Amino acid sequence: MNLNEFKTQEDSWMELYAPDGTKTDIRIQLVSRDSTTYQGRIRKLAEKNRKATRGMSITDIEKESMNIYVACTVGWENMQENEKDVKCESDNVQHIYEAYPWIYENVREFIDDRANFLAN
């Protein structure tokens, strides 16, 4: 068995499906769990938690978790809100993920599945 067949890529494009299962024309470019971006955010979260005297609240953990996935979103195509194009910038990404939890859920599931980042 050649292990190179299972080496993950740094990033991949996710096709976005609406909550009813309809394929949209939106694509989101995401970095993998194995990327330096993802790993750096995880280390930062662990360090922050270690330094906190009382630990982190659930709200803090949820916010940091979202920050990880926002940082892992490096591009998108055809993202519009109110008939206006939305640039893929961290504030906009966070807004979209908060306003449309189904998109955020899709992103988390995609990133958490290494198979989505295998070279074809």
Q: What is the pTM of this model?
A: 0.85
For residue 50, name the pLDDT band (cuts at 50, 70, 90).
low
CA dihedral for 86, 87, 91, 94, sign (positive or negative): positive
* pLDDT tens-place string over residues 59-79: 877 888 898 899 999 999 999
Buried b (16+ CB within 10 A) or exposed e, 66-93: bebbbbbbeebeebeeeeeeeebeeebb
Question: Looking at the domain assignment, is residue 36 inside a domain?
Answer: yes
* 46: containing domain: 30-117
Predicted pLDDT at 40: 84
Of the candidates 34, 101, 37, the one whose C-alpha atom is nearest the C-alpha of residue 68 is 37
| Total of domains in the chain | 1
Q: What are phi and psi of 15, to 5 degrees?
A: -80, 130
Whether residue 53 has pLDDT greater than 70: no
Predicted pLDDT at 120: 63
